[in-house]
Amino acid sequence: METEKGETEKKGWLSRLRDGLSKSTKRVTESITGLFTKKKLDQETLNELEDALIQADLGVSVAARLVGKLGKERFGKEVTDEEVRAAFADDIAEILQPVATSLVIDPARKPHVVLVIGVNGSGKTTTIAKLANLYKREGRKVMLAAGDTFRAAAVEQLKVWGERAGVPVIAKDTGADAAGLAFEALERAKADGCDVLLIDTAGRLHNKTNLMDELAKIVRVIRKLDSEAPHSCLLVLDATTGQNAHAQVETFKTLSPVDALVVTKLDGSAKGGVLVALAEKFKLPVVAIGVGEGIDDLRPFEARAFARGLMGLPA
């Protein structure tokens, strides 16, 4: 019965993933399909395919890799657009497979501290709530810290989500010291025997110096209680920003110990291909993707399902 339920859930998620990727899929596949008026794969078609992949935010390096491999294997031969999409999907899955890893919560740590960073508007606060829901469903004891103390809306939003997920939220008044709040939350999480503490942070990239100082201070202060904290540092990226996501990864890597990515709002974007470009360039684990607003719409990232979905093929 459990297995059946799990299978149904998985099928439901895969169809939501396909629906969520529909804008990106349309952008990629229409370009590819439109090129196949001739049947033989010649240099002109390969060049046009490469342009189509770059336009779909897969990036220059990934486009060159996919088209180069296709040319080597199929040049001068008759091919259909579906064969091309299947070949690309296999190659994309190969690029994504090494980064498709779940965030492993270490049960030996009480709590495992997860620092969540990203620009304002990236979906950071809702990602925290969704992760809290996910861990709670796995039977873990979770606590949230509303560390984006500059935005009253972020604190209120986290409180609402925390209530919905049945998870306690440590919060202070707007403008309170974020590092002090993080310290207090870690003290409480330790005292309560929590398995996971998720800490929200501010994301004001227009003032990098302040942001850098604040993130550094949070890390410094929580290390007084746990010398190895944070145990994970997640950067949340909004897929609708497309190529700007590269600059965000570069910037945040200089500001904090980023060790994994979460990509949100894939359902609102035709730029889902950027995830492939990020995987190829930065090699950072993509621990979850979001394809909707619901509390269950953030799930572990599966390379093959994503690659085939992006190319409009059944998983």
9 vs 252, higher pLDDT:
252
Q: What is the DSSP letter of 27?
A: H
Buried b (16+ CB within 10 A) or exposed e, 100-128: beebebeeebbbbbbbbbbbbebbbbbbb
pLDDT digit string, tens, across residues 269-302? 788 899 999 999 999 999 999 888 877 788 889 9
- 3-state secondary structure (DSSP) of residue 83: helix
Burial readout 217-240 (b: 16 or more C-beta within 10 A, e: otherwise): ebbebbeeebeebbbbbbbbbbbb
What is the pLDDT, as a whole number, of residue 282? 96
Domain boundaries defined on the chain: 2-99, 112-299
112-299 CATH fold? Rossmann fold (3.40.50)
Tens digit of pLDDT for each residue in 46-95? 999 999 999 989 999 999 999 999 999 999 998 999 999 999 999 999 99
User: pLDDT tens-digit profile of 16-27?
Assistant: 888 889 999 999
Picking from 234, 9, 3, 193, the residue whose alpha carbon sits closest to that of residue 107 is: 193
pLDDT tens digit sequence for 193-222:
999 999 999 887 766 778 888 888 999 999
Please write the tens of the pLDDT for every residue from 299-315: 889 999 999 999 999 87
Angle between helices 22-34 and 43-55 (to 10 degrees): 160
Amino acid at 53: L
Strand, helix or coil for residue 129: helix
Question: Who wins on pLDDT, 16 or 37?
Answer: 16
β-strand pairing of 169-170 with 196-200: unpaired
Average pLDDT of span 238-246: 90
Quickly name the fold that domain 2-99 has: Four Helix Bundle (Hemerythrin (Met), subunit A) (1.20.120)
Reply yes or no: is the peptide bond before residue 111 cis, omega within 30 of 0: yes
